[in-house]
Chains A and B, each alone.
Chain A
């Protein structure tokens, strides 16, 4: 039925466009001067049909499920559901739904079969009703808009108003999604904090979230101090940046000042390809190539190296960040006015001296902004660390040891047996909240620095 409704919508839209454009052309053919082009008259009718009918269809699809469920439930015999709680009722409803779709297991009670029939009838009715309503609404709108076609009608203005309304809606989607995510995080985090005290979460030095979620399950006692996880994240971030910042900066300096145009023409696209490598590919590169290499190198020196080192994960993450930092630094260096470069060169400075003493200091704020954005990317990076970093939260700053990160913990907490009423699962939301706060602060700092930097030369 849904497809029929959409066909009605499409047909009505096209009809509206065609009808109104033809009407406008007829007016023009009579020699009258139209305010708007005939296309705008057509578009006005099309949009006037498309937007409200689409809204009606989508709203119908969203609401019909719950409404039908409620009708079916209320139609059940009282004695069958009298003493049941919410969960048991929804279990019965699921059973009825699976019977309705033809999957019958065992021998269901008579009243369940009847309810399934009723469910099917209601769904059918609702579908037809939806098609009928959208067809009727389309017809009414088509009639009204067709009546409005006249030489003086400002169809272009009307179309522009509708389109700007659509644009506002699109931007609101992003805003409300953000607000929704933040609210969900805050809500779940507050539930978590009602089970685990805030001080324990913020200052606790143990992270052992594998608590039993069913009775009789063997698991740890449970400890929710995020400090080891945070330290692990920071260790990996520091490793990644010690690798990415110098390499990225030297790449940018070389490409900006010293590379020949031909080499630049090759190197820049290659760097962009590096930026386009999926992080999961970096991940298996880290776990299959880099980690064993570090391990055997450590063994040859007699240093104990754990299989999942922060060094491997951080180093590969550093490679991922190189193009990010180099393109930011390149932009910052290019933004330094040519006059400063000329001034230094005219004093007899070499290119290296010009770069080191004049261009680089002038570009530093922009470069710092880029590095901070790279930091927030490193903190939020998930795939590489899930594959290459460890799972056990160990409070250490040794990069040859195994550490875990906030993102890895969120992934592991939400994989497998979950239920949303125990601290193990809710801890993921608390960690997500902290991750959100940390990256938000870093981004704000980075944007402030970048903005301050922009004011200097404008």
Chain B
């Protein structure tokens, strides 16, 4: 059995966020999603609703399919030849796998930040301006400058790089690079931000900065974050989904999942017995 009292005290030590998101119409609604990589059945019948202006964490042991499911939400699995997605995923009620939906425009709406910082080998300015440029979001240089500045400000990077916007993005430190990638992702004004283990390549200080940023981003976006760290899920998310062997085992309020899990597998995982 889990020692509830011990768990509770640990939780109090963490930076607790609001546990009562207003549950309205879900931003993303996935029903009976199955994903196959060739013969491998990677995601099995997952149904989940993701709320707007909320941070939703996907946790689970390695290879459980949480990243794969995340990549379904902006159709990044389309870029893998052998991947096949079944089921429906609705974004604001619109099926994103509908043939009429252009994955290119979908990805502008659903931004993504990757595990390893992957700034383009271009200047900091060009990294952030890349999305707005290809989507024609700025009519002139001044508007583009504004978008770049506000994106960098929201990514809490502006003060560190405002004097060297022409320097290459690859020359920044790891944490700065990841915040640059976040700025790049939010520059296209997405409605949903997907984050695939955004802190796994960062040191604790950079991690804290990014986590703080995620909490601020919640005001404007629906954020979905995949993480290996249960503490991180507890710190930043309001909703948590636990995946195991391609199945969604449990989904609920973060506080609930960590203090009072219903499924024995969830309990085993958060107490460190599996995974």
Contacts and interface: CB of A to CB of B under 8 A. Distances in A.
Interface of A: 261, 337, 339-350, 353, 357-358, 361-362, 456
Interface of B: 74, 76, 79, 81, 104-109, 111-112, 114, 116, 118-122, 130-131, 134-135, 181, 184-185, 188
Contact of A343 (B106, B109, B118): B118
B114 A346 contact: yes
Contacts of A261: 81
Given A339-B118, A340-B118, A346 B130 contact: no
Counting from the closest, the 9 A-B pairs by CB-CB distance are A348-B108, A346-B112, A339-B118, A348-B107, A343-B118, A347-B131, A350-B104, A348-B104, A353-B134
Contacts of A343: 114, 118-120, 181, 184
A337 B118 CA distance: 9
B76 A346 contact: yes
Nearest to A340: B118
Contacts of A340: 118, 120-121
B76 A345 contact: yes
Nearest to A346: B112
21 contacts: A337-B118, A340-B118, A340-B120, A342-B112, A342-B118, A343-B120, A344-B120, A344-B130, A346-B111, A346-B112, A346-B114, A346-B185, A347-B107, A347-B111, A347-B131, A347-B185, A347-B188, A348-B134, A348-B188, A349-B104, A456-B121
B121 A346 contact: no
A348 B114 contact: no
Contacts of A353: 134
Contacts of B116: 339
Nearest to B79: A345
A261 B130 CA distance: 29
Contacts of A456: 121
B184 A342 contact: no
Given A343-B114, A346-B74, A348-B135, A361 B121 contact: yes
Contact of A347 (B79, B122, B130): B130
Contacts of A350: 104, 134
Contacts of B104: 348-350
Contacts of A348: 104-109, 131, 134-135, 188
A358 B120 contact: yes
A169 to B, nearest CB: 46
A350 B105 CA distance: 9
Identify which of B104, B108, B116, B181 gathers the most chain A CB atoms within 10 Å of its CB: B104
A106 to B, nearest CB: 81
B191 to A, nearest CB: 12
Contacts of A345: 76, 79, 107
A341 B181 CA distance: 13
Given A342-B114, A343-B181, A362 B131 contact: no
Nearest to A364: B121
Contact of A362 (B105, B111, B121, B181): B121
Contacts of B81: 261
Contacts of A358: 120
Nearest to B121: A362
A49 B65 CA distance: 65
Nearest to B117: A339
B137 to A, nearest CB: 11
Contacts of A362: 120-121
B108 A342 contact: no
Given A342-B79, A358-B120, A347 B114 contact: no
A342 B76 contact: yes
Given A345-B76, A348-B109, A349-B104, 19 more contacts: A337-B118, A339-B114, A339-B116, A342-B76, A342-B114, A343-B120, A343-B181, A345-B79, A346-B76, A346-B114, A347-B185, A348-B104, A348-B105, A348-B106, A348-B131, A348-B135, A349-B131, A349-B134, A362-B120
A345 B130 CA distance: 11
B261 to A, nearest CB: 32
A347 B134 contact: yes
A342 B181 CA distance: 12
A28 B114 CA distance: 64
Contacts of A344: 120, 130
Nearest to A348: B108
Contacts of A361: 121-122
B217 to A, nearest CB: 16
A353 B130 CA distance: 10
Nearest to B106: A348
B218 to A, nearest CB: 20
Contacts of A349: 104, 130-131, 134
A353 B118 CA distance: 17
Nearest to A349: B134
A346 B120 contact: no
Given A261-B81, A339-B118, A347 B184 contact: yes
A443 B259 CA distance: 66
